[in-house]
């Protein structure tokens, strides 16, 4: 199963690869086998990047779930300058190109803030990427955790962020909230007293791994 954001790229890539392979056979181009293998590998990589496997959401009102698949690269107290303008606990998940890139709502709640910011394309692990790169900032609020911010961040390769969250809508934990094309990062900003249930370098799964929980 593939994500709807990848349909156009998949179709155009498939047509392009097919035309090139047929052309190489027709014109009897030398080293065509090597080129064919390269084209097929690239097509497979595109297919796997846009995959959207079905998962069982670890839904619970007392959980904040990871919004994406990837690896925990930051857990620290920081100043959040855009929305809260005070200190928060930041938990960041880095996605490699081989990860599923669907962004999922980390919790149920009301979407009270959703903003897109154009920007640079620094590597996603760069300390300034959270405030300098192309990004979207979304804030979800509920009675259990209060206001929680998550930020989709483009990386050096990622060149388009898709965000479905709109102010006034109700988020459903684990449901599709957007997509980041070709590698990036998602930051979560939680209240300072939040219990963190993950560790640095831990591999997490969107909609499944618990980032923070209430006892």
Q: Give the β-pairing of 135-142 and 109-117.
A: antiparallel
* Candidates 66, 184, 194, 212; catalytic one: 184
Q: Cβ distance 206 to 68 under 8 Å?
A: yes
The verdict on whether 184 is a catalytic residue reads yes
How far is residue 95's CA from residue 97's CA, in Å, rounded to a whole number?
A: 7
Q: What residues are annotated to the active site?
A: 184
């Amino acid at each position: 199963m593939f994500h709807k954001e990848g349909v156009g790229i998949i179709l155009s890539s498939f047509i392009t690869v097919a035309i090139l392979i047929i052309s190489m056979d027709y014109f009897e181009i030398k080293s065509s086998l090597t080129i064919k293998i390269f084209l097929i590998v690239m097509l497979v990589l595109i297919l796997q990047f846009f995959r959207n496997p079905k998962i069982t959401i670890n839904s619970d009102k007392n959980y904040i779930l990871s919004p994406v698949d990837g690896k925990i690269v930051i857990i620290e107290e920081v100043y959040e300058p855009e929305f809260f303008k005070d200190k928060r606990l930041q938990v960041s998940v880095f996605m490699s190109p081989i990860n599923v890139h669907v962004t999922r709502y980390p919790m149920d709640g009301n979407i009270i803030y959703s903003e897109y910011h154009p920007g640079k394309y620094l590597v996603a692990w760069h300390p300034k990427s959270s405030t300098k790169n192309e990004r979207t900032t979304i804030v979800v609020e509920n009675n259990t955790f209060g206001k929680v911010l998550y930020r989709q961040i483009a990386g050096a390769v990622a060149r388009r962020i898709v965000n479905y969250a709109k102010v006034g809508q109700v988020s459903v934990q684990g449901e599709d909230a957007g997509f980041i094309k070709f590698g990036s990062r998602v930051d979560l900003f939680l209240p300072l007293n939040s219990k963190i249930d993950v560790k640095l370098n831990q591999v997490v799964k969107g909609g499944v791994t618990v980032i923070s929980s209430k006892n």
